[in-house]
Amino acid sequence: MKTTSASITKSKVETLAQLYLESAPAEISEATISELCDWLWTEYYTALPLNLQFSWYDRYNNAAEMSADIQQGHLWVSAENYAYDLNLGLNPFYNVIFQAVHDDDCYRTCSDFSLAGEIATYNATAKRAPSLNVQKIIYSESVLRSAAHIVLGSAPIAKIVFP
């Protein structure tokens, strides 16, 4: 399998990070949140063959570590940034499912944790999303927030943005 590598320019990463960091949080309708939750539940129940396990602070250092766990049928999801990331007003379990779907797509696309890898992962996930609004939420979380994380060196304050 070919791995998606870091082939995105520094200026592109900085531009995407700036879009995330400088944008106001988006207003998301209850209908879109409901649609997102329904889709996440379907993804989890029908397409995610993993035993999800919580960790309060541990995170994967690289995609190879995560892939090795996924090959064994389990995935650690860090509650540090996702279980209580309530920026969408979701039950924490849906935030964990969101992260698990993302990580599984990262594995399926042989992507790393670079911005190029996050974009490849986004593209795989977005193809299954039920609407443009859900795709925009995924883009904000998968691409824009990741770019901000890369630039800052740590996770930015969670929000969904539609720049």
The model's pLDDT over 26-77, given as tens digits with 9 standing for 90+, comes to 999 999 999 999 999 999 989 888 888 887 777 788 999 999 999 999 898 8
Domain count, the chain: 1
Whether residue 107 is contained in a domain is answered as yes
Whether residue 1 is contained in a domain is answered as no
User: CA 108, 61, 51, 6: dihedral to nearest 10 degrees?
Assistant: -10
Domain extent at residue 125:
10-152
Two tokens, residue 57: 């602070």
Q: What is the per-residue pLDDT across 7-17, written as a single tens digit (0 to 9) for each?
A: 567 789 999 99
Across 43-59, b (16+ Cβ under 10 Å) vs e yields bbeeebebebeeeeeee
Whether residue 69 is contained in a domain is answered as yes
Whether residue 157 is contained in a domain is answered as no
Q: Which pLDDT does position 85 carry in this prediction?
A: 57
Q: Which pLDDT does position 56 carry in this prediction?
A: 75
Whether residue 28 is contained in a domain is answered as yes
Whether residue 79 is contained in a domain is answered as yes
Whether residue 112 is contained in a domain is answered as yes
Residue 81 has pLDDT above 80, yes or no: no
Q: What is the per-residue pLDDT across 124-139, written as a single tens digit (0 to 9) for each?
A: 999 999 999 999 999 9
